[in-house]
A = this chain, B = another copy of it.
């Protein structure tokens, strides 16, 4: 009886070992440059073993992404639940979003940037899509609060939320992928984008 429990525990341990090794390698080298064999080497198992714990390589990454994105969702939720001025919340959420993206660039890249058709990450893996939508919904919530405080120009919450998302997503991806470009100082650019976005949807006569 207890044997099965121990077995399950050991299974879970090895699963976590794989995830830990993969996380480290992915962060250091990116999804493309990490082979299943390298992950297997790291944990000192044979390549085949990986497939006893994960459906395929993408499955490993998806699991890691899910993990990471629930962190972002929690962070945004904390802001949404705060009781300060909703417009201020919007700014804070924007900054938090970009900070997060720059803090986990590889995770962000795969989840929100890379076309999921390529590299075998299929839409069937709705888990990640769900995790992403979850994050978006936290932002949407804050927008709703601004709307309720009559601070916004326009009625459509989705339209405004998606436009704001585009702005923060845009600056995130530019900073992640266009490392060669001569950007102005990072925090100043981020602040400007957040400001531009918020001012761009706010009611004119403040």
A interface with B by C-beta (< 8 Å): 30-33, 109, 112-119, 123, 126, 129, 132-133, 136, 154, 156, 158-160, 162-171, 173-174, 176-181, 183-184, 188-189, 192-193, 195-201, 204
Contact = CB atoms under 8 A, between A and B. Distances in A.
Given A193-B163, A197-B196, A156 B170 contact: no
Contacts of A123: 179-180
A91 to B, nearest CB: 12
13 contacts: A33-B117, A33-B118, A109-B115, A112-B178, A113-B113, A113-B114, A162-B189, A165-B174, A166-B174, A166-B193, A167-B196, A196-B201, A204-B204
Given A133-B181, A163-B189, 16 more contacts: A112-B178, A113-B173, A115-B176, A116-B179, A129-B181, A156-B184, A158-B184, A162-B189, A163-B193, A167-B167, A167-B196, A167-B197, A170-B170, A196-B196, A196-B197, A199-B199
A37 B84 CA distance: 59
Nearest to A136: B181
A160 B192 contact: yes
Contacts of A197: 167, 196-197, 200
A188 B162 CA distance: 11
A196 B163 contact: yes
A196 B126 CA distance: 31
Contacts of A32: 118-119
Contacts of A188: 159
A192 B197 CA distance: 11
Nearest to A105: B115
A184 B159 contact: yes
Contacts of A165: 170, 174
